[in-house]
A = this chain, B = another copy of it.
């Protein structure tokens, strides 16, 4: 049940890094929506590997193949399923992972959970590659939201602690055979006030639940976030005021420390949140680990393809997860 999200729409992601295909089913899309396929592909391309020198050289065009849910390019009300065939798979690269879990990876925890039957090739179902179907679903939903004037934009805030020239940190890590993490900031504009719910089903709960589906995410904060814990109420409270006149008169807040959400419900101000992304655990440097078979310590040098930093490629993934979570709440009544 792990790979399913949503109440009003339901996203169901499947596939392993090296299975025949990966894909997603989206159940609950409105009938009659025409998908802009070029725009979707452009969105997918932002996540795709091999697009620049900062990402892994695996050159696999992530072109969704739609199995169902469409008549032409229009949704027909039936569940939409799209897949991406896996073509460039080299399972032999991953043989030693069966015995020696990579530090920072899911190898060990998956091994315990699935009792050794897990698919270790390329990270299996835990691979970052599975964010491709997330982006198919999220990319379509972003288009639906955009029709209502709702936009979602994720940007790099810092990489390796460097907010001025983030990419320098990537270059440095790459040269050392190391990797580096970063922080992404995402902004949602155009959401009306009144979306979301109290308690367990608020905007923050749901965006958090969806965003933690992206491998490597280790934290999320809304508005001023952790800094709110360092502020006085008189500093943190966002005062209300009326903006505009007549029909256009709307309630706004002078500051947006709350990040667009109060009590789980949107205020009409932009939603702002930040996501912490850990450094890619795959590094070329030798690391200490264990051997299950020998029941003793073992060293490990991770071979195979890997990014020195996944933050740039994670941007559309954060947008996708956010879009899915918000759209599910918008469909609420």
- A-side interface size class: 35 or more
Given A19-B67, A198-B126, decide whether A1 and B8 contact each other with a Cβ distance below 8 A: yes
Q: Which residues of chain A in 44-67 are interfacial with respect to chain B, using CB atoms and an 8 Å cutoff?
A: 65-67
Q: Whole-angstrom distance between the alpha carbons of A202 and B184 in the complex?
A: 21
Contact with B along A120-132 (1 / 0, CB 8 A): 0000111000100
- A208 close to chain B: CB less than 8 A: yes
- Give A29 to B4 CA distance when docked, in angstroms: 14
Contact with B along A172-216 (1 / 0, CB 8 A): 010010111111000000000111111111101110111011010
Point out the residues of chain B lying under 8 angstroms from A289, CB to CB.
239-240
Q: Does A90 contact B (CB under 8 A)?
A: no
- Report A14-70 residues with CB < 8 Å from chain B CB: 14-16, 19-23, 25, 27-28, 30-32, 65-70
Most buried by B among A5, A25, A200, A285: A200
Partner of A32, one of B75, B117, B254: B117
Complex interface bits, A205-245 against B, C-beta within 8 A gives 1, otherwise 0: 11011101101011111111111111111111111111000
| This chain's copy number in the assembly | 4
From the candidates B196, B226, B232, name the one contacting A179 in the complex (CB within 8 A): B232
CA distance A195 to B200 in the complex (A): 21
Q: What CA separation (Å) do A45 and B259 show in the bound complex?
A: 32
Say yes or no for A293: interface residue by CB 8 A criterion.
Answer: no
> Which 9 A-B residue pairings sit nearest by Cβ, starting from the closest?
A106-B263, A219-B221, A2-B197, A78-B125, A179-B233, A104-B237, A109-B265, A233-B279, A228-B278
13 A-B pairs besides A13-B199, A158-B229, A234-B287 with CB distance below 8 A are A1-B8, A2-B264, A14-B80, A23-B81, A76-B114, A76-B119, A77-B118, A106-B198, A106-B262, A158-B230, A181-B233, A219-B229, A237-B287
